[in-house]
Structure 1
């Protein structure tokens, strides 16, 4: 299972110390590793001789993205990664359990309750991928790890975005013939219905020990998949009609993952209680083997050795099946996710896929690190407090704002929608890392990312229920959403029968201060209740999302929870653009419906600014001291008195395209930073004079004043510029 390290294997990669080799192949080497905090990981690297190939680097980055999309509940949790390093690497959770084919070989076909639970949880996993417009395309028993907490989907070697054929050739059947769909077998588009077909084949195997189309030569299997009826011998009678429908040749006749989960209806019992005793014993054995693993390294070869040992040349090592224990069977998988590669704009306008040279760029980039937020469910923004920037959604990192160096990576609470700060302390809401634990509210150590004992616990609210959000915090209270559910579930959607609430918790006593019911969500919806939140002047200001995606600006009394007023946030701009909140002690300045000031007390309009002409378009506003700043299309930045709306200064004639109106300007100590077609424009806060235009990557920007840094958050990176 574990092989000694080669003499020339590195001792450390990132923040991880290498312990042993788990396997090596033509693409790269996989190691057992431990972080400085003692966490065990599977760490994948790419061989140096192929790391210079941009195509292989792209595939490695896409595998990292896909692992983050599937998430830690349904896949191997991503701890850290650097696909742009000289030797690209990915550190993931070491999955403690065998692949499904090994599990069936060890314990025999699974009992019907286990098959039902397995299928329902895999439906949730695929549903998360499909919601992100990604299809797996190679679901099979060896790509499903069986753990005590449930199955984990791995190996994204040929996964890709729905409708994206750039990584495969039209007419080519990519996948495993025994479990591919008929449309995939003919090289046609593989949509989510194709993953449902493959899932049904996996469940037939789990229930019987054989696949629905047997074994044999590639051509024979492809023919049977396309034309033959599936072999369902041994399938429990109650499952026969369900799996037969999923194996329909016409994709339109198959159920969705949500529909299939409902048909399987596994019940509330924990997954582990359904597994055979020999299988549970094997899981326990693997836990002990990894826990007691000690570093071993082979000596360097003598001068008359035949060849130098290189990663990938080891004559022995685990089989491919053993490699799947890593939580990822493909060392260099490809999972195309909408958004494409990480590319920076150079000063000459060209695109660079490699990390910047060590030499300081002329446009003052100070540092940059990869921090992917794949398919964010709320507007991307860092959590900023003194000495720390918390970035990312899946795979959160705590960065030193001055240097960009990680202080910690992927703490206990790994979804950033469950992390908030009052500017001094960092708080988190979660379920104590188990599926059945109650909702807890914690402080997070900003130095390590670790959570302590919860200061507030709510036994009637499951902590890992989808839809739980830690919205914002003050020195007195944290504000969050919590749900009550008739059954415990870790599915990444809302479920029928759940009831949801907006609540406030005292940070000193942990006592619930108040609770307000929220509208019910349709079964299967994944739209969160809120996209942003702020407390100011005793008011809790929220951008609330309806079940149909509509947005409303809602204001509550922060002390009592009483709903004071709300109004729609209509507009043709994306929801995230309308979700920015600019608030001071008197007004809220919405990011939709023109540049207006609404009184916090009653929602009535205090003033309105029409710009050069009625109907002028503005980007989201920002507030600094007693001034409101915004960027007007075709004009540039304007500064208005926050009390009256009167113009203090305005740029004249700067070209501002509509595409530059999706982010607010950033208020620094001396300058206002706003986006332009060439990068950023720095304007004097007092006069509006443009004093320092410079080129910069397209991103959302945030000021970290104590560190003197302008923080840029992109889809796949975080960077910093001087805050001057």
Structure 2
């Protein structure tokens, strides 16, 4: 079902990161993909050799239009598309169910009530297309996906407006011979009556396991479609008359979709009975299995073939242990669909840990993984268009990942647990001792809660705070930071769109007492426009009585904002340099007196009022600096074209300046990492390690391009990339 990505598959298209291949054909490739919000999509692309042909581009655009016309009820909802891109692509809902032909192969022919219900729903789908003067032209069992809620029609690659034949040569046939109409088989105009003919063939297959015109060579099939009587052996007697009329050679003799739907419904005792109730149990179990399996997929990319291999130290997308879906998530998904108990039956093992218990320990991932000073490396998944790869660091534990959260031993990389109940890492925070989680649920009405997470097992405990006026399901919820007695978070209320924000929502920044569970304060946040996906905050930290935040507007402008941590009162704010990369903007360097903004300059602002305490000009006027770091009374930053500098945090006087080295703008996108005896900064060769006291450089520290974090107790430098986490020595 899922195949690895090849070495030359794109990493990302639009807002979607590619995870696996779903299939590939003559026109293009379909991928499993995920967006930054966690949305799973089927992403279809066109082969590069076809994208240069205007006719194929036009066909792709028409496919996108037809998919939008049929809509999310009868088809796969269109999330996004770019038919004008160099590689045209279409992202739709990933339908959780098998195609009809696979379903029949697995569970056998469907009972008559299921065929009638299937046909009635497909009539409604075609009627919606035809009402917009669009015909499908390639209706067949493999293009009908069975879900618990009903069938969905997919693949509109040769759909077109009725009467528009400009994409097909006169006298040629486009479609699938076994399910073509006679007029389509001769290259004549295919009208809505042709879709009815194909639908009848689909229903024959569903009821018998075979098509109405058999199998064989295309020429033989086309002849039978045009001249032979259909093979209706095995069709239930109650369906024979209507399907026979639908398969008439003359389009005028076939019923309309409305007439066909009425005849199919007439043979059902209860037309309002849920579709899932009419499906065989074996098929329900398969649907449940597919619902679970998509959550297990992690990115895996095949290595470059030897004949194409180049020297490359980037981590390969090697496979990792798949996450186990939490019981809470399983119940939420099972309860939110017509599956009901079926989701907890045959498919439940896939969610509750149906895998070999002898999971191998993490190892460096293949010959192309960075080796040099590497201790360990494991696959982790971030999609950092919305969330930054910021691990949670506790004593003896580092928690990483966005989709499939993992808790690792920082010394060895051994997994402690993976995929806890909180799906997004932006809903977790730590005070360095305990982990807190703002719970996520699929229940529309469940209030927002904050609970502790067992560091040993990843299990969520009882809530320590509950906010009945805020909704847990809303996409913009963030748990920002925590102290010994308080958690700080954003929460909202209002309608729940399928993704992003709604202009009708109300959002708040709040602090809550962990001991009493009481809300200490709450201040309103600016509204977000419909479909906005920018979170309110990039980072947050408490220093004494100050809550320091990097807040972003709906259009992405970052601002440094300080509140009173006890009362929530806004004390001051100022803009940050928007030229900084997102990770640099979000970095907070704070001590008891000052905050040192990531603004391209090197200055100290007083926490009390935001006024400048000192500024370091650097080696020349207008010198640019990367995001600073501060520890033990010393501020460290990298100056472009010069190297690292260390300044006294009290007044900005230099402690030492690194001997001049080549520092480019690309080396200014991350702060230095302060270790035990050395401070590490990014360089073209990996990392530069400088003595904390003197600035004397140690040997070059070879490591991969990533974001780095210190885990002092484990003496590890944790490297977090978009798809991996690794550990190097920390001295």
Class of the TM-score when normalised by the shorter of the 2 chains: 0.5 to 0.7
Partner of residue 585 from structure 1, selected from 574, 584, 592 = 592
Q: What corresponds to 1:217 in structure 2?
A: 177
Could you tell me whether the CA contact under 8 Å between 1:347 and 1:363 is conserved in 2? no
Could you tell me whether the CA contact under 8 Å between 2:627 and 2:670 is conserved in 1? yes
Partner of residue 126 from structure 1, selected from 79, 92, 112 = 79
User: CA separation in 2, counterparts of 1:333 and 1:606?
Assistant: 47
User: CA separation in 1, counterparts of 2:424 and 2:465?
Assistant: 19
Partner of residue 409 from structure 1, selected from 414, 418, 421 = 418
**TM-score under structure 1 length normalisation:** 0.61
Summarize deviations over 1:320-354 as a string: whole Å, max 9, x none: x9985665599999999xxx99xxxx997655747
Could you tell me whether the CA contact under 8 Å between 1:591 and 1:620 is conserved in 2? yes
Partner of residue 693 from structure 1, selected from 692, 700, 724 = 700
Distance 1:651 1:228, change over 3 A: farther
Q: What corresponds to 2:115 in structure 1?
A: none
Could you tell me whether the CA contact under 8 Å between 1:412 and 1:433 is conserved in 2? no
Partner of residue 471 from structure 2, selected from 462, 482, 489 = 462
Q: CA deviation at 1:468?
A: 0.5
Q: What SS does the aligned partner of 1:500 have?
A: strand
User: CA separation in 1, counterparts of 2:600 and 2:9?
Assistant: 46
Q: What corresponds to 1:281 in structure 2?
A: 277
User: CA separation in 2, counterparts of 1:332 and 1:360?
Assistant: 17
User: CA separation in 1, counterparts of 2:496 and 2:468?
Assistant: 12
User: CA separation in 1, counterparts of 2:40 and 2:584?
Assistant: 31
Q: What SS does the aligned partner of 2:34 have?
A: helix
Q: What SS does the aligned partner of 2:708 have?
A: strand
Distance 1:640 1:208, change over 3 A: closer
**TM-score under structure 2 length normalisation:** 0.60
Q: What corresponds to 2:34 in structure 1?
A: 69
Could you tell me whether the CA contact under 8 Å between 1:382 and 1:391 is conserved in 2? yes
Q: CA deviation at 1:461?
A: 1.1
Summarize deviations over 1:533-592 as a string: whole Å, max 9, x none: 111021001111111111111100000000000011134223332221111111000001
After superposition, residues 298-697 of structure 1 pair within 5 angstroms as 324=290, 327=293, 353=316, 356=365, 363-432=372-441, 434-485=443-494, 487-489=495-497, 491-697=498-704
User: CA separation in 1, counterparts of 2:279 and 2:458?
Assistant: 29
- Say what the alpha-carbon RMSD is for the aligned residues: 5.0
Could you tell me whether the CA contact under 8 Å between 1:631 and 1:637 is conserved in 2? yes
Q: What corresponds to 1:145 in structure 2?
A: 96
Distance 1:330 1:587, change over 3 A: closer
User: CA separation in 2, counterparts of 1:540 and 1:480?
Assistant: 11
Distance 1:503 1:219, change over 3 A: same
Summarize deviations over 1:147-204 as a string: whole Å, max 9, x none: 9xxxxxxxxxxxxxxxxxxxxxxxxxxxxxxx9x999x9xxxxxxxxxxxx999x9xx
Distance 1:220 1:462, change over 3 A: same
Could you tell me whether the CA contact under 8 Å between 1:56 and 1:332 is conserved in 2? no
Could you tell me whether the CA contact under 8 Å between 1:378 and 1:576 is conserved in 2? no
Summarize deviations over 1:597-627 as a string: whole Å, max 9, x none: 0000000000000110111011100011100
Distance 1:226 1:575, change over 3 A: farther
Structure 1 portions without partners, runs of 5+: 1-29, 31-43, 78-114, 148-178, 186-197, 235-274, 291-317
Q: What SS does the aligned partner of 1:126 have?
A: strand
Structure 2 portions without partners, runs of 5+: 12-16, 23-29, 43-69, 99-128, 137-142, 161-173, 197-270, 319-363
Q: What corresponds to 2:106 in structure 1?
A: none
Count of residues in Structure 1 that have an aligned counterpart in Structure 2: 512
Q: CA deviation at 1:380?
A: 1.8
Q: CA deviation at 1:471?
A: 0.6
Of residues 367-376 and 693-702 in structure 1, the stretch that sits farther from structure 2 once superposed is 367-376
Q: CA deviation at 1:233?
A: 9.3
Summarize deviations over 1:460-479 as a string: whole Å, max 9, x none: 21101011000111111110
Q: What SS does the aligned partner of 1:577 have?
A: helix
Q: CA deviation at 1:666?
A: 0.1
User: CA separation in 2, counterparts of 1:384 and 1:210?
Assistant: 46
User: CA separation in 2, counterparts of 1:644 and 1:218?
Assistant: 81
Q: In terms of Rg, which structure is larger?
A: 2
Could you tell me whether the CA contact under 8 Å between 2:20 and 2:33 is conserved in 1? no
Could you tell me whether the CA contact under 8 Å between 2:391 and 2:400 is conserved in 1? yes
Q: CA deviation at 1:692?
A: 2.9
Q: Which of structures 1 and 2 has the larger relative contact order (alpha carbons within 8 angstroms, sep 6+)?
A: 1
